[in-house]
Chains A and B, each alone.
Chain A
Amino acid sequence: GAGVSQSPRYKVAKRGQDVALRCDPISGHVSLFWYQQALGQGPEFLTYFQNEAQLDKSGLPSDRFFAERPEGSVSTLKIQRTQQEDSAVYLCASSLRTEVTFGSGTRLTVV
């Protein structure tokens, strides 16, 4: 596709539920990033993939957060046992060299 596609656009989860957020990057983009954006804040880095290799996961807030990109294209961010503080917009971005393109994000609300 022409841009970075994320699904679902909105997700409401009950506290304790597991969720999976999908990112379809721009075709051919080697680098893929996940960011978390809380209300009124800038995006905060979560994790980075180069092809299928997860090279940096230093931003993942806890071991309840897990990301994968098994074939070097589509990526999934999984959050286990969701908590209210996980409520945020989760942004995926991809890049080939320098320019980073963002998707529209998944807005997660934990109730």
Chain B
Amino acid sequence: QKEVEQDPGPLSVPEGAIVSLNCTYSNSAFQYFMWYRQYSRKGPELLMYTYSSGNKEDGRFTAQVDKSSKYISLFIRDSQPSDSATYLCAMTPPNSGNTPLVFGKGTRLSVIA
């Protein structure tokens, strides 16, 4: 079993839908949680970053962490065709500036106009 599990999809939704992306993890040492967006032939781009359990909102994006269940989510409201990309969850123990990120497989999302 991998340390981070993520449903690879693909996920296809109509424009304006609410999208829910999820990851589970097994390592209790993970304290920092990130969501990256990766467009085709590009590197991952940081979307959201959170440390504690609970919700963090940034525009149309909400990141949710439940450490007791080892479960994280990313919600996208009013999804747009430009949101079509692969979404990667990533996590790391403390001192994340000098410890490697552990990634999920990524979920490929298509938002259809």
Contacts and interface: CB of A to CB of B under 8 A. Distances in A.
Contact of A43 (B42, B96, B98, B103): B103
A48 B98 contact: yes
B22 interface: no
Interface stretch (B12-20, B43-51, B62-70): B43-51
Interface in B69-113: 88, 90, 96-106
Interface residues of B, number: 26
B43 A96 contact: no
B46 A97 contact: no
Given A41-B105, A41-B106, A98-B49, A59 B43 contact: no
Interface in A44-68: 44-45, 48, 50, 55-56, 59
A33 B100 CA distance: 7
A56 B92 CA distance: 15
26 contacts: A31-B98, A40-B8, A40-B105, A40-B106, A42-B6, A42-B88, A42-B90, A42-B103, A42-B105, A43-B101, A45-B100, A48-B100, A50-B98, A55-B98, A56-B100, A59-B100, A91-B44, A96-B97, A98-B32, A99-B49, A100-B46, A102-B36, A102-B44, A102-B45, A104-B43, A107-B41
Interface of A: 4, 30-31, 33, 35, 40-45, 48, 50, 55-56, 59, 91, 93, 95-105, 107
Interface of B: 4, 6, 8, 32, 34, 36, 41-46, 49, 88, 90, 96-106
